[in-house]
Amino acid sequence: MIRVLLVDDHKLVREGFAALLASSNGIEIVGEAVDGESAVEQAKALLPDVVLMDVLMPGIGGLEATKRILRSAPETKVIGLTACVDGPLPSRLLQAGARGFLSKGATHEELVSAIRKVQSGQRYLTQSVAQDLALRSVSPDDTSYGPFDALSERELQVTMMVVNGEKVSYISDKLCLSPKTVNTYRYRIFEKLEVSNDVELTRLAMRHQLLTDA
């Protein structure tokens, strides 16, 4: 039996994945967590075989939670989940030790296949992520996104949300930060990347293939 911990700050997402896995032979949901901190705590207590880890969450977020879980339970396998599969988030998560990466729009068959393959020691990447890494012709650890590589994990989270058109109020709610703190991150990002506003940031993101202009 593969024991799975679900981590996502949206109840509907957790319920959706739990429903998908309920009928899968050999897979058992042993717990759910709503943020990075509780994910770390539950992983230590439950010692799941696989963690389905949302990347963008309140608190420490999925990237840092993955690192902490694997430090305390290196045998646990982590699969990242996000609605945004473009840009550096997949490679950052792989660098943190994750063994797979899935879109939240994954089918039941893909979800089950990913869990079973990762548990058996293989790596599983959703098709668009695998294609992106292949096109760059480098290993995940060497994937470069130019100046964006200089950003911290939280700065990168804010950047990806800004360039995808999210407002400060939404980012604030999603990451459990005050609007003032979000704006502080924005200005710090502008300074590091030598841009002046969100439009220039978005153009830079397109230039370095963090997202497409389609």
Task: Assign residue 164 the CATH number of its domain.
Answer: 1.10.10.10
The overall average pLDDT reported for the chain is 83
Give per-residue pLDDT as tens, 16-37: 888 888 888 899 999 999 988 9
Q: Is residue 94 part of a domain?
A: yes
**Kind of pairing, strands 77-82 and 100-103?**
parallel
Interatomic CA distance for residues 51 and 72, integer angstroms: 14
* Same-domain status, 78 and 164: no
Each residue's pLDDT tens digit, 71-129: 988 999 999 987 765 566 777 788 888 999 888 878 889 999 999 999 999 988 887 66
Verdict on whether the full-model pTM lies above 0.95: no
Query: Is the domain of 93 the same as that of 192?
Result: no
Alpha helices in 47-178 (DSSP H): 61-72, 89-95, 108-119, 127-136, 153-163, 168-175
Higher per-residue pLDDT: 193 or 94: 193
In a domain, 213, yes or no: no
Q: Confirm whether 110 is domain-assigned.
A: yes
Q: Can you give the pLDDT at residue 155?
A: 86
Phi, psi at 74, each rounded to 5° = -60, -20
Q: Are 16 and 111 contained in the same domain?
A: yes
Query: Which residues span the domain enclosing 113?
Result: 2-142
What pLDDT sits at residue 142?
47
Q: Rg for the chain (alpha carbons), in Å?
A: 17
Q: Are 41 and 7 in contact (CB under 8 A)?
A: no
Count of domains observed in the chain: 2
Say yes or no: 9 and 102 in one domain: yes
Shared domain for 169 and 199, answered yes or no, is yes
Kindly state whether residue 100 falls inside one of the protein's structural domains.
yes
Decide: 56 and 127 in contact? Cβ < 8 Å.
no
pLDDT of residue 136: 53
Residue 214 lies in a domain: no
